[in-house]
Structure 1
Amino acid sequence: MKRGIATIVAAVLALTLAAATSAAPSDAQGASGSTAKSKEVVTHYAYLGMEYREPAPLSLLKPAVIPDEGLAGVRLGTNYNNLAGKFLGLKFVLDETMLPQGGDVVAAAKKLLASGQHLIIADLKAPDLLAVADLPQAKDAIILNIRARDDVLRQTQCRRNVFHLIPSDAMLTDALAQYLVWKKWTRWFLVRGKHPADIEYANDITRSAKLYGAKIVAERAYELQTGARRVDTGYQEIQTQMPMLTRGVPDYDVAFVADETNSFGLYLQYRTTDPRPVVGTDGLEATAWGAAYESYAAQTLHDDFRKLAHREITVRDYEGWLAAHLLEMAVKHGNASNVDAVRKYITSDNLKLAGYKGEGMNFRSWDNQLRQPILLMDQLSLVSISPQPGFLHPTYNTDTLGFDQPQSLCKFSK
């Protein structure tokens, strides 16, 4: 009987949300904040993104470029907002700005701000994000970061008007470290690339090892140059290179890889000299979201996103959806009628942002980072969720991930 009732409830929810995804985003444009018309409160917010040159994926199963990545999630969130809002007299209007590679993000941001848009969902890399945040016109704006994981944005280069929905690299490596320590896999072999982003991620791995009592028994940089990996003999070259890279390493439990540029990490699996699991940017990964994640009714979000975008949801799509959902919560629960009211609500203890992760999430006051559980996933399944059992915090256990207040270097000077 219980199963039958659950099935009926699930069907009703599916039909309701399907109606949301089939509705196209509104074309209306206007100033951010809320305006009233015939008892309807209209809230405007903007998406600001740019096409960046990304490294080609090592696997043919991963697309090189997803044109609407991030934006599709915001669109879905806006559809959700309008479905729920029509019963409450609320309407949400999305203004989309997607710049081509090398576009003038500062000019685009100035145009949005001049039109009155002060609620901005930013799908930008760190330099462009800071360029927008530092505009005098953006001083009182709310900028929701859904892309840049750089630790520096939460530390010495933090900004009062930037709120980070996407977790930092430090949060990701801490999430993996907790699980490895819980498993008693505390001897790590660190393999990193040469790119600055690889080195920064490797530094986070080292930080996490010190924090949780693990030991990095060896560190090596991948410096070999692969040939054409998709010719007939490409796999043979890789099969030779990986054992060379991992030979003669002191006994270790896991290979912890830092390959942010997608150059070699995938090739470590099943090719190390000693048979060891791979974690980090490949193998077992820490992430805000995953295509195989289905806990806490997450399947609903997957299904609705597929209907809208005709593909699987990515981390940036999830963060875009979450940003739109956050603004809807601020308007609905915080009685927000302007940017100041939105800020007051999202920085308050009343915020409990639902994101299919089993708990309400809110922002850290010292760096504007969203507290959140971190998923540990391989390519096909959820392995665990951090924080791990036994890693406790006096206020929020999620503050064991990333920079807690005593480690924070953020001063909010701007």
Structure 2
Amino acid sequence: MGVTLPPVAVWADVAVSVTWLRHAEAPRPVLSNLDPIPQDRGRAGAELALRDNQTTGRFLGQTYELTVVEVAPDDDLLPAARAALAQSPYLVLDAPTASQLSIADLAEAQGAILFNASSGDTALRADSCRANLLHTMPSDAMKADALMQFARKKRWENLALIEGAAPQDAAWSQALRASAAKFGMSLKGEKQWLFDADMRRNAAQEVPLFTQDLPKHDLLLISDVANDFARYIAYNTWEPRPVAGSEGLMPVAWAPVVEQWGAAQLHSRFHDLAGRDMTPHDYAAWAAIRALGEAVTRTNAGDADTLRAFLLSDAFELAGFKGRPLSFRPWNGQLRQPIPLVTRAALVAQAPLEGYLHARTELDTLGLDQPESGCTRFEQE
């Protein structure tokens, strides 16, 4: 997809307004309070990106404005979305999958550019995709593929899985199963974690008994998105095996332990703004608004049609502090990006790993490639 950039001589002032729209989810009961969710999660990333865009725009006659809208769990999100779209065609969404699809299907959203900065649901990049919805949050499939590349390289080919009882745990487990099959590895056994007790006192007694009957395996996968129990599995299993997934070796969009490629500088600026570490939701919101700012800078345009065409073109690149330029997949709107594989204390590796090749870019070895996606909405544009 080609995009012709205007010569500098015809550049003019451009004003861009963006709305960060969050549909809060009702907090579910948790068994551990060790990882509280920041109240400004996502929003702080959007605010940092706004500052970055304003810094560049100041020299080019481009201005940016960010509007923050948060909707309570029991309130209807669509009136807020309609009101935001009446002001600007650019929305960054922190909302569940169903809410994002409802917004994308609004008549007012046709021709808009929406960014999914929260949901890893692979279906949003597959048969449930929408042509007006781009994704800066990595899909579950991308993260699972990153982990399986590492496991394959280590020759940890026999896997076992412990799955939590929450719906998001089932989705993460399914991504892990699909990726294991994709990379030719075998899931030897699965168990569901049904304990409803705090493990801080009982892990040393309960976990060995729970894992005793798992088949022989090289790597134990844990699917516990809320981290209710995953932290207590390591070093307590019946057989001494590495753990990965929601604990141990974790594939993430972003983590404080990523320090190379200028990431430490991004961390520092974020910490100065928010007084805390940057989360994956913050990074996804930051990437969405920075991508929009990069498109405005390169095209000197503020209309959605021009910016969307550029974002999905081969000419678009975003410096994302991950060692490689980031770009959008034109067949489903997913932002290509490396996936750090981290522990709580260190960066272990970054996928795609060396040796995993692709005719287009090695980044497309992570997640749904074009023949796999089943997304046809972008082809109709």
TM-score, scaled to structure 2: 0.93
**Which of 222, 228, 233 in structure 1 is aligned with 2:193?**
222
> What residue ranges of structure 2 are gaps of 5+ in the alignment?
1-10
Task: Tell me which stretches of 4 or more aligned residues in structure 1 moved more than 4 Å.
Answer: 55-61
Query: Does the 8 A contact of 2:203 with 2:233 survive in 1?
Result: no
Partner of 1:44: 17
**Which of 101, 111, 115 in structure 2 is aligned with 1:144?**
115
1:326-337 paired onto structure 2 within 5 Å: 326-337=291-302
User: 1:190 and 2:155 equivalent?
Assistant: no
Partner of 1:100: 72
Partner of 1:127: 98
Q: CA deviation at 1:236?
A: 3.7
Query: Does the 8 A contact of 1:48 with 1:122 survive in 2?
Result: yes
**Which of 91, 98, 104 in structure 1 is aligned with 2:63?**
91
Q: CA deviation at 1:211?
A: 1.0
- The percent identity for this pair of structures is 35
Q: Tell me how far apart the structure 2 counterparts of residues 224 and 328 of structure 1 sit (CA, whole Å).
A: 47
Instruction: Tell me whether 349-358 or 335-344 shows the greater mean CA deviation.
Output: 335-344
Q: Tell me how far apart the structure 2 counterparts of residues 235 and 144 of structure 1 sit (CA, whole Å).
A: 38
Matched positions, count: 369
Q: For CA contacts below 8 A with separation 6 or more, give which structure has more relative contact order.
A: 2
Letter aligned with residue 146 of structure 1: A
Q: CA deviation at 1:357?
A: 0.8
Instruction: Tell me whether 332-341 or 273-282 shows the greater mean CA deviation.
Output: 332-341
Partner of 1:295: 260
**Which of 172, 175, 187 in structure 1 is aligned with 2:146?**
175
Instruction: State the SS of the aligned residue for 1:190.
Output: strand
Q: Tell me how far apart the structure 2 counterparts of residues 184 and 288 of structure 1 sit (CA, whole Å).
A: 24
Q: Tell me how far apart the structure 1 counterparts of residues 165 and 33 of structure 2 sit (CA, whole Å).
A: 24
Q: CA deviation at 1:61?
A: 4.2
Letter aligned with residue 72 of structure 1: A
Instruction: State the SS of the aligned residue for 2:148.
Output: helix
Query: Does the 8 A contact of 1:335 with 1:341 survive in 2?
Result: no
Q: Tell me how far apart the structure 2 counterparts of residues 102 and 301 of structure 1 sit (CA, whole Å).
A: 35
Q: Tell me how far apart the structure 2 counterparts of residues 163 and 211 of structure 1 sit (CA, whole Å).
A: 25
Q: CA deviation at 1:56?
A: 6.0
Query: Does the 8 A contact of 2:12 with 2:300 survive in 1?
Result: no
User: 1:213 and 2:184 equivalent?
Assistant: yes
Q: Tell me how far apart the structure 1 counterparts of residues 73 and 201 of structure 2 sit (CA, whole Å).
A: 36
**Which of 202, 216, 229 in structure 2 is aligned with 1:251?**
216
Query: Does the 8 A contact of 1:187 with 1:214 survive in 2?
Result: yes
> What residue ranges of structure 1 are gaps of 5+ in the alignment?
1-37
Q: Tell me how far apart the structure 1 counterparts of residues 201 and 326 of structure 2 sit (CA, whole Å).
A: 47
Q: CA deviation at 1:60?
A: 4.8
Letter aligned with residue 205 of structure 2: T
Partner of 2:311: 346
Query: Does the 8 A contact of 2:15 with 2:302 survive in 1?
Result: no
Instruction: State the SS of the aligned residue for 2:336.
Output: coil
1:390-405 paired onto structure 2 within 5 Å: 390-405=355-370
Kindly tell me: are residues 261 and 61 of structure 1, through their superposed partners in 2, closer, same or farther at Cα, counting changes over 3 Å? closer
Kindly tell me: are residues 81 and 243 of structure 1, through their superposed partners in 2, closer, same or farther at Cα, counting changes over 3 Å? same
Instruction: State the SS of the aligned residue for 1:62.
Output: coil
Q: CA deviation at 1:57?
A: 6.1
Q: Tell me how far apart the structure 2 counterparts of residues 344 and 409 of structure 1 sit (CA, whole Å).
A: 21
Q: Tell me how far apart the structure 2 counterparts of residues 408 and 323 of structure 1 sit (CA, whole Å).
A: 22
Query: Does the 8 A contact of 1:165 with 1:323 survive in 2?
Result: yes
Instruction: State the SS of the aligned residue for 1:47.
Output: strand
Q: CA deviation at 1:334?
A: 2.0
Instruction: Tell me whether 355-364 or 52-61 shows the greater mean CA deviation.
Output: 52-61
1:379-394 paired onto structure 2 within 5 Å: 379-394=344-359
Query: Does the 8 A contact of 1:55 with 1:262 survive in 2?
Result: no
Letter aligned with residue 369 of structure 1: Q
1:316-331 paired onto structure 2 within 5 Å: 316-331=281-296
Letter aligned with residue 78 of structure 1: L
Q: CA deviation at 1:62?
A: 2.0
Query: Does the 8 A contact of 2:164 with 2:194 survive in 1?
Result: yes
Partner of 1:306: 271
**Which of 44, 48, 64 in structure 2 is aligned with 1:72?**
44
Q: Tell me how far apart the structure 2 counterparts of residues 102 and 68 of structure 1 sit (CA, whole Å).
A: 19
Partner of 2:82: 110
